[in-house]
Amino acid sequence: MDLLSSLRISSSGLSAQRKRMEAHSSNIANAQTTRTAEGGPYRKKEVVFGSEPAREKFSEILEGELAENAHTVHATEVVHSDKVVFKYDPNHPDANTEGYVAMPDINPMVEMANMIEAQRAYEANVTAINTTKQMAIKTLEIGR
């Protein structure tokens, strides 16, 4: 695999993990939101990842088997959960006639742990890009 393919794979990981962090931070910020513009409580976001071969040009496909198993990752879609939890709070403005409020099914601790995991994956991709850059610089220094 060449250096550009390595950079392409790592940059796709950066983009996917950024999207994941955005979804988790939105979930944390709206964990107590009971009313949205669409109606009802906030709907939890989950990012779905997909992969595709890390090739852009036809010539790269013909290169051989070295990069055959290399794939880039991308966020294919953001899925919204319809799960709600009913909490008894008769004084809440959005309570129904029985005193229950429909709340989003979001556990802020789980969301925070998932966000930290996405951050660590993001940092790993940054490290991979920096290592690839250092390898390219060292390669150029050998030619001097």
What digits encode the pLDDT tens for the residues 70-103? Answer: 788 888 899 999 899 999 999 999 999 999 999 9
Q: What does the pLDDT average to over 130-135?
A: 93
Mean of the per-residue pLDDT values for the chain?
A: 88
Check pLDDT > 90 for residue 24. Answer: yes
Check pLDDT > 80 for residue 64. Answer: no
- Alpha carbons 80 and 141: distance in angstroms, whole number: 50
Which stretch of 9-18, 60-69, 109-118 has the lowest confidence by average pLDDT? 60-69
- Alpha carbons 139 and 121: distance in angstroms, whole number: 27
Rounded to 5 degrees, φ, ψ at 78 are -115, 115
Q: What does the pLDDT average to over 118-132?
A: 95
For residue range 26-47, list pLDDT tens digits in order: 999 999 999 999 888 999 999 9
User: Looking at beta carbons, which pairs linking 18-26 to residues 24 or more positions away fall under 8 Å?
Assistant: 18/122, 19/47, 19/75, 19/78, 20/47, 20/75, 20/114, 20/118, 21/115, 21/118, 21/119, 21/122, 23/47, 23/78, 24/111, 24/112, 24/114, 24/115, 24/118, 25/115
